[in-house]
Structure 1
Amino acid sequence: MVRISTGTFYDNSIQAMNQQQSALLNTQLQLSSGKQINTPADNPAGAAQIIDLTQAAGMNTQYQNNITAAQNQMSMASSVLQNITTLVQNVQSTVISANNASLNNSNRQTLATTLQQQLTQLIGLANSQDGTGNYLFSGTKGSTKPFIVTSSGVQYQGNSGQQLMQVASGRSMPTNVNGADLFMSIPNGNGYFVTSNSASNAGSGAISQGGLASPPPTPAQQGNHYTLTFSITAGVTTYTVSGTDASGVALPAASLPSANQPYTSGQTIAFNGIQFNIQGQPANGDSFNVAPSTHVPIFQTVQNLITLLNTPLPAGNSTASSNFTQQLQTAEGNLNQGLNAILTGNVALGTNLSTLTNLTATENSLNIQYQSTISQIQDTNYTSTLSLLSQEKLSLQAAMQSFTSISSLSLFNYLR
């Protein structure tokens, strides 16, 4: 037989009622706070899950903030590049206007003044800053003004680096295009080779910008330099092609067109995967050059045009006129290449902006999932919790009534 002392009965009863009262208070707290986990002790596993989910949601929010910052920076850069595109197209229009035989020196100088204004605008746009004062096109040197005007021309002070921003777990994205790629590393000519009149030419011949033929040049031919030398014998004009490879070694005759090719103004000249034409009448001994394309900053191209238009052109001098036309054609080719570089940079920004738009939708969806999962684990289910509260109240009331009834019993009550 187990005997329970009065003290033990009191202790056990009070402990049980305290536990029930504590459970009741906890249920009331869940109702008042709206959370079923108010301390880790309420649900250790659930509390750990909430910590992990909250951290993931916080990282996701940071990614969203990064995406917004990246979108703002890239949108601003894209807008500036659109303005630059329009400006370069205006420069091209000015060059087309200059290629007019009816213009006199004064007219060309007026166009040069227009080009000078356009160059100043171009440099200003290339030095654009974002809302925080950082330069848009200086690579990773955001606080450094990218373009400065020196006695030797416009110099680039930035670098070719890309600013990266983390926009998702394990994923970073460039948020800029650097000024070196946009404005400095511009291939001249047609992007593969550049043509020119020799300075000593006396005839009226002018060589076109040209382009690649089919089939294109082999890699071994890509660094070749060619010279077309003209001769006139008995009124018949012919040309002979000579050349050197990238190391300056003379090309074998078998790799070139045979000597004394007949010349017709405007007729296509094609060999070794390249093609071009020469308009006008070269003089005996005149020569024309074809060299691999190099890099000419777009600022230098515009400055060369300004110098060209400010230089008086002798009236009635066909040689000077052909050289002038040749230089305008070269500038037009350089501007086309420059515009392509700017458009390419803007396309890259547009592609990245599109990607960020898609990422924004993904991050928003993830954020909703995180919050939903946290809510499922943490938030109070009012229907079930109210039902539990009623049960706990009844249990506590029953326990208190039972304790009162039992504690009032005494053996002496039955011995009277």
Structure 2
Amino acid sequence: MRISTQSIYNNATSQLNTLQSALARTQNQLSTNRRILTPADDPVASARALEVSQSKEMNSQFATNRASARSSLAMVEGALQNAGDLLQDMQRLTVNAGNGAMQLQDREALATELEGRLEDLLGVANSTDGAGGFLFSGYMATTQPFTRTPGGAAYQGDQGQRQLQVGASRKIPLSASGAAVFENNPTGNGVFQTQADKANKGAAIISSGAVVDRPLANQGRSYELTFSVTGSPAVTTYTVVDSATGTAVPGHDNQAYEPGKTISFGGLSFDIKGEPADADVFTVEPSKKQSVFNTVTDLIAALRAPSDGSTGKAALTNQLNTALDNLKSAHDNLLTVQASVGAHMKELDYLDSAGDDLDVQYAATLGDLQDLDMVKAISDFSMQQTTLQAAQMSFKTMSGLSLFNYL
């Protein structure tokens, strides 16, 4: 068989190129510490590595989102803390206003101070996040949530809560609705509210009351208690009428009045102290939602109203008791929202810990799929280098052979 010189050179060149390519590939693997340089090296592992890399990037983005969510929630929590301090101060001022030694000018000073607290509370309710968005306006982040009105404040936002994805299957609220924080405050004791009619002429004071039978009290019925003072000496009686039916509550029709004695019906109880006048009326109604701004505005008006004589003092005391109950309810509601914000921030800590663990798992999986076995790669590199050098020497020797050397 005759072999041409061209064939010898072609075969040798092809073999040397193959060995050179293998050596260069191993060099690239060693320099990048990657076993897979192109998807063709291991299609299955490459596809799996792409999926894991995408999951790892998403996990990193979730970590960034959690940092942003924590910052937003910290601002909400700070605003709620300020609002809570203001409500506590308002309750203190309301208690002080009940001091019987106070004169009209003293109550005027308290009313002025409460006006300042009201403006401060309105400012907290209109807090921003530092980027032009309002914390308590729901989805309407660019709309100022509360505007001052003669009766208190009007809410301009909506009921939504802005949320951010902080995990593969978890979204965290970044804000709280201003309506939920400052307006949805149950009046009275949370189930019912007792009030004295503004036209009362006597000096009777009604308590906030308590629930003795919750299922019965939760039926949402309204009642009206009317006093009657007749005879000489005067005999005081009262009648409790169901406002829905207009009929007297059994056992409470023309009952003798005893100051401070508990009055119970419909699953609720309360007491009345002092001396009522003839035709004085007290109402018992289901609790309803009331804005804290309306509560404080009504309180300020009550402090500035004349309160001369026993009738005026009793009216003021009843109004102060109502305001104190409503402020306490508003503070309790705010604490509930604040606890929810705190729970979300605590959850972010747990999600951070879980995210860190996932990051380690993803890195380990990518290492198994992509990382190079350095010992094997160095051994292969040395072998390929030796093989290439031997092939080069062999080709050089063979290409130098000639019959003319033997002639």
Given the two structures, how large is their TM-score scaled by the length of structure 1?
Answer: 0.91
Q: Give the distance between the partners of 1:307 and 1:287, measured in 2 at CA.
A: 21
Query: 1:209 is matched with which residue?
Result: 208
- Specify which of 265, 273, 286 is matched with residue 292 of structure 1: 286
Contact 2:34-2:372 at 8 Å conserved across structures:
yes
Query: 2:79 is matched with which residue?
Result: 80
Q: 1:15-414 alignment to 2 at 5 Å?
A: 15-217=14-216, 219=218, 221-222=219-220, 224-234=221-231, 235-245=234-244, 249-251=245-247, 253=248, 256-314=250-308, 317-409=309-401
Q: Give the distance between the partners of 1:41 and 1:277, measured in 2 at CA.
A: 87
Shift of 1:218: 5.5
Contact 2:211-2:217 at 8 Å conserved across structures:
no
Q: Which moved more, 1:39-48 or 1:164-173?
A: 39-48
Contact 2:191-2:217 at 8 Å conserved across structures:
no
Partner SS state of residue 194, structure 1: strand
Q: Give the distance between the partners of 1:160 and 1:390, measured in 2 at CA.
A: 70
Distance 1:150 1:199, change over 3 A: closer
Q: Give the distance between the partners of 1:3 and 1:310, measured in 2 at CA.
A: 124
Contact 2:189-2:210 at 8 Å conserved across structures:
yes
Partner SS state of residue 11, structure 2: helix
Q: Which amino acid aligns with 1:293?
A: S
Q: Which amino acid aligns with 1:359?
A: L
Contact 1:35-1:380 at 8 Å conserved across structures:
yes
Q: Give the distance between the partners of 1:112 and 1:142, measured in 2 at CA.
A: 33
Distance 1:324 1:125, change over 3 A: same
Q: Which amino acid aligns with 1:178?
A: S
Q: Which amino acid aligns with 2:89?
A: N
Q: Deviations over 1:191-240 (max 9, x none)?
A: 22111112332221111111211354265x31x11111222345432221
Q: Give the distance between the partners of 1:372 and 1:5, measured in 2 at CA.
A: 55
Q: Give the distance between the partners of 2:307 and 2:214, measured in 1 at CA.
A: 40
Q: Give the distance between the partners of 2:198 and 2:390, measured in 1 at CA.
A: 114
Partner SS state of residue 388, structure 2: helix
Between the aligned residues of both structures, percent identity stands at 39
Contact 1:256-1:272 at 8 Å conserved across structures:
no
Q: Give the distance between the partners of 1:286 and 1:218, measured in 2 at CA.
A: 24
Q: Give the distance between the partners of 1:319 and 1:189, measured in 2 at CA.
A: 22
Distance 1:227 1:307, change over 3 A: same
Partner SS state of residue 289, structure 2: coil
Shift of 1:327: 0.4
Shift of 1:275: 0.9
Partner SS state of residue 141, structure 1: coil
Structure 1 unaligned residues grouped into runs of 5+: none
Structure 2 unaligned residues grouped into runs of 5+: none
Q: Give the distance between the partners of 2:151 and 2:302, measured in 1 at CA.
A: 17
Given the two structures, how large is their TM-score scaled by the length of structure 2?
Answer: 0.93
Q: Which amino acid aligns with 1:164?
A: Q
Shift of 1:411: 6.8
Contact 1:216-1:274 at 8 Å conserved across structures:
no
Q: Give the distance between the partners of 1:83 and 1:275, measured in 2 at CA.
A: 35
Q: Give the distance between the partners of 1:46 and 1:132, measured in 2 at CA.
A: 45
Shift of 1:39: 2.9
